[in-house]
Structure 1
Amino acid sequence: MDFEITEGVINGAQKVVFYGPEGIGKTTFAMKFPDPLFIDTEGSTKKYDVRRLPKPTSWQMLIAEVQSVIQKRNCKTLVIDTADWAERLCTEAICANHGKKGIEDFGYGNGYTYVAEEWGRFLNLLQDVVDVANINVLLTAHSTIRKFEQPNEMGAYDRYELKLGKKTTAQTAPLTKEWADMVLFANYKTFSVAVDDKGKKHKAQGGQRVMYTSHHPCWDAKNRDGLPEELPLDFGAIAHLFAHQLNENVAPAPVVNTTPVMNTVPPVSREEPKVEEIKVDKELQTGGIQEAAPTVNAASVQQTVQSMIPKPLRDLMDQNLVTEEEVRKAVSFKGYYPEDTPIDNYDPNFINGVLIGAWPQVLKIINENIRAF
């Protein structure tokens, strides 16, 4: 079999991880990327004029939104803001699928293994955003400070790392760094200045915002474009790497000579048929039957029913134009609950672990067995 040999630089979409302490300007920096579209997992873009998809309320909703970007190709940069909040959705989904209250309930680190496997599948999906749709992927994340001790070395020191995974056994942070083409660390640069004649007393000054592009004992960073180790926290410093998408000629940013660091301180809904009025018989949980309720408008009843459905499930239903009746029929089809059982009477573990956790399978049942007839 003959394979085609290529050579030279290939310009295409890039995978970027940008992390730093809270308030450093991660969202503002992400806004400067070519034609960004945000998936705002923590609600940090409310104050900014950006294009965004609905805030995902479940792991399945986040995956569905990424898949929609691959299909519609409605941006040049997909921003996941932030990755550590996305990991929370992943962890919640894993726990719900296995009936656990927390990731530590698995024991022997099994929970972190499940999360790493699911996170790896998510990174593969983001790889499709780059390879199939030719769209940049930018993951923003918070930083955390951890005590680091090298083997066969004396002493320990603090270093900045991605705030992914709470335990050393967690693998989401290493997987994310390996997946990325570029890892940028942003921080406030401070200087230690002597304030007495003998140079024994110092105070911190400065506070300039910078970003680091190469690995350092005190932080993780990398790039494959020969960037200077330290740059101002400005998208203009790396804009030339995306010139082919910005439709303009951008010269590489000049190397900035800075003072050495002395101390770095660490819903679309389906239209319902119009009904003038209906009567609702409500069975009291304490026993007995209540008299027929006064006549009410069907629209208000539908709104009340929707409000009883947990928001993560309701968001998935709205996204796929699925009604409560279709969900109840699918649940009855698989023999879980009688068809007339309201969704709000389902066991919460069933809602989280089956309806939300296995939503693609639920949707498949609805499309193939409910809507087909």
Structure 2
Amino acid sequence: MQVISGKVEKAKKVVVYGPEGIGKSSLAGQFPRPVFIDTEGSTTEMNVDRLPKPSSWEMLRQQVEWVKQQGSRFGTLVIDTIDWAEMLCVEGICAKHGKKGIEDFGYGNGYVYAKEEFGRFLNLLSDVVDAGIHIVLVAHAQIIKFEQPDEMGAYDRYQLKLGKKTSSQTAPLVKEWADMVLFINYKTFSVAADQKGTKHKGQGGMRTVYTTHHPAWDAKNRHGLPDEIPLDYAHIAHIFNGAGAPVAPPTSPPQTYAAPPMPTQASAPADSTPPPHPTTAAATTAPPELDPNIPPSLRDLMIQHQVTKTDIQIVVSKKGYYPMDTPITNYDPGFVQGVLVGAWPQVHNMIKDFKANLPF
């Protein structure tokens, strides 16, 4: 057996959460060479690299897989926000099992499915970390009533704003998975508003990052940070800029790279124009043969994997679901979401196998 001594430098797993509009995304944008998966479309005013907004849980997983394969092109993968990503997860589970909501499973089974699926997603993010890419999960905060088992009474505290029905399952997973949980809030002071001290008002409002656990919020770090620091990336930059070769600061101007493969016209010569920027790539638009009325969650996957409507119709007809000439837009929405989108890896493999066995 091999014994490994001392510190092991590797990419970090970070959760950043706080109230809306406080600057969570702006802080994440200062991490080494970030690329955003913007699940809620809130980074349009930021000058950052981003992938198209995922329209399904499967598309989000495909995007994470693509970032993992890029090696040292990116230093940080930012998922903004993880609570919106969880909604995609729940929608994907319900569609796959033909349910309208997470409670339709009965006996709490839906929450178990959500926990297991979210756990697999965190394992996928850990694979990205092993590839030398930092992970930053941005989340909103919510105030909940909390009561400790060994104390009398209850009090309010901030927690991750994951699903109202599923947060008790998924929030602990996220906090346990992370190396660092940073809570951002406005630091205010209560001062007396009258001479008797019976009325108070809030003053201050400096944006502050809390790095350690407190009865009023969740936070942690393993780097000896002060309990409170200003909302300034410079105070934590030393943790990430030296975490391994794949995330070292670039010595030349940053380059841009194409997003996950989309169907395009004939390929240009290798030494012609540089690859398109992921936010402006022409490949993000659908080819003419794709009906714009196809559900976006399926249409986005078809574009990403260069799958035509005929490819879908062939495999669907071979499985006996619909006749070959049935338009995709006439498919039952539950079939589209639960079978074609929910089991997209299997559907895509069937398409590839069919094409590989063509006689020409």
Q: Is TM more than 0.5 here?
A: yes
> Is 1:270–1:322's contact at 8 Å kept on the other side of the alignment?
no
Offset from partner CA, 1:329-372 (integer Å, 9 cap, x none): 11112111111111011111000000000000000000012343
> Is 1:116–1:170's contact at 8 Å kept on the other side of the alignment?
no
- For residue 162 of structure 2, what is the aligned residue in structure 1? 164
* Bigger Cα displacement from structure 2, 236-245 vs 27-36: 236-245
- For residue 93 of structure 2, what is the aligned residue in structure 1? 94
> Is 2:183–2:217's contact at 8 Å kept on the other side of the alignment?
yes
Distance (whole Å) between structure 2 residues aligned to residue 168 and residue 58 of structure 1: 18
TM-score, length basis structure 2: 0.86
TM-score, length basis structure 1: 0.83
Q: 1:202 deviation in Å?
A: 1.4
Find the residue that maps to 1:95 and give its secondary structure: helix
> Is 1:80–1:139's contact at 8 Å kept on the other side of the alignment?
yes
- For residue 112 of structure 1, what is the aligned residue in structure 2? 111
Letter in structure 2 aligned against 1:327: I
> Is 1:43–1:55's contact at 8 Å kept on the other side of the alignment?
yes
2:22 pairs with 12, 21, 24, which one? Answer: 24
Letter in structure 2 aligned against 1:179: W
- For residue 48 of structure 1, what is the aligned residue in structure 2? 46
Find the residue that maps to 2:215 and give its secondary structure: coil
- Whether 2:119 is the aligned partner of 1:125: answer no
Note the residue ranges of structure 2 that are not aligned, 5 or more in a row. 251-260, 267-286
Find the residue that maps to 2:168 and give its secondary structure: coil
Q: 1:246 deviation in Å?
A: 4.8
* Bigger Cα displacement from structure 2, 5-14 vs 319-328: 5-14
Letter in structure 1 aligned against 2:334: N
Calculate the aligned-residue CA RMSD, in Å: 1.7
2:223 pairs with 225, 233, 237, which one? Answer: 225
* Bigger Cα displacement from structure 2, 65-74 vs 80-89: 65-74
Q: 1:271 deviation in Å?
A: 4.6
> Is 1:330–1:370's contact at 8 Å kept on the other side of the alignment?
no
Find the residue that maps to 1:170 and give its secondary structure: helix
Letter in structure 1 aligned against 2:98: G
1:167-316 → structure 2 map (5 Å cutoff) = 167=165, 170-244=168-242, 245-247=247-249, 268-269=262-263, 271=265, 303=288, 305-316=290-301
- For residue 333 of structure 2, what is the aligned residue in structure 1? 348
- For residue 141 of structure 1, what is the aligned residue in structure 2? 139
- Whether 2:330 is the aligned partner of 1:329: answer no
* Bigger Cα displacement from structure 2, 53-62 vs 193-202: 193-202
Distance (whole Å) between structure 2 residues aligned to residue 142 and residue 243 of structure 1: 26
- For residue 368 of structure 1, what is the aligned residue in structure 2? 353
- For residue 85 of structure 1, what is the aligned residue in structure 2? 84
Note the residue ranges of structure 1 that are not aligned, 5 or more in a row. 249-266, 273-301
Gap change, CA 1:82 and 1:145, over 3 Å in 2: same
Find the residue that maps to 1:141 and give its secondary structure: strand
Letter in structure 2 aligned against 1:232: P
Letter in structure 1 aligned against 2:27: F
Letter in structure 1 aligned against 2:262: V
1:320 pairs with 300, 305, 311, which one? Answer: 305
Over the matched positions of the two proteins, sequence identity in percent amounts to 62
Distance (whole Å) between structure 1 residues aligned to residue 185 and residue 107 of structure 2: 35
> Is 2:189–2:204's contact at 8 Å kept on the other side of the alignment?
yes
> Is 1:16–1:138's contact at 8 Å kept on the other side of the alignment?
yes
How many residues matched?
323
Find the residue that maps to 1:349 and give its secondary structure: helix
Distance (whole Å) between structure 2 residues aligned to residue 113 and residue 339 of structure 1: 37
Letter in structure 2 aligned against 1:337: Y
- For residue 68 of structure 2, what is the aligned residue in structure 1? 70
Offset from partner CA, 1:243-286 (integer Å, 9 cap, x none): 324549xxxxxxxxxxxxxxxxxx833559xxxxxxxxxxxxxx
Distance (whole Å) between structure 2 residues aligned to residue 53 and residue 270 of structure 1: 17
Gap change, CA 1:209 and 1:346, over 3 Å in 2: same
Find the residue that maps to 1:91 and give its secondary structure: helix
Letter in structure 2 aligned against 1:330: V
> Is 1:147–1:158's contact at 8 Å kept on the other side of the alignment?
yes
Question: Displaced runs of 4+ in structure 1, greater than 6 A?
Answer: none
Offset from partner CA, 1:73-109 (integer Å, 9 cap, x none): 2301000000000000000000001111111111221
- For residue 282 of structure 2, what is the aligned residue in structure 1? none
Higher-Rg structure is: 1
> Is 1:82–1:139's contact at 8 Å kept on the other side of the alignment?
yes
Distance (whole Å) between structure 2 residues aligned to residue 35 and residue 169 of structure 1: 30
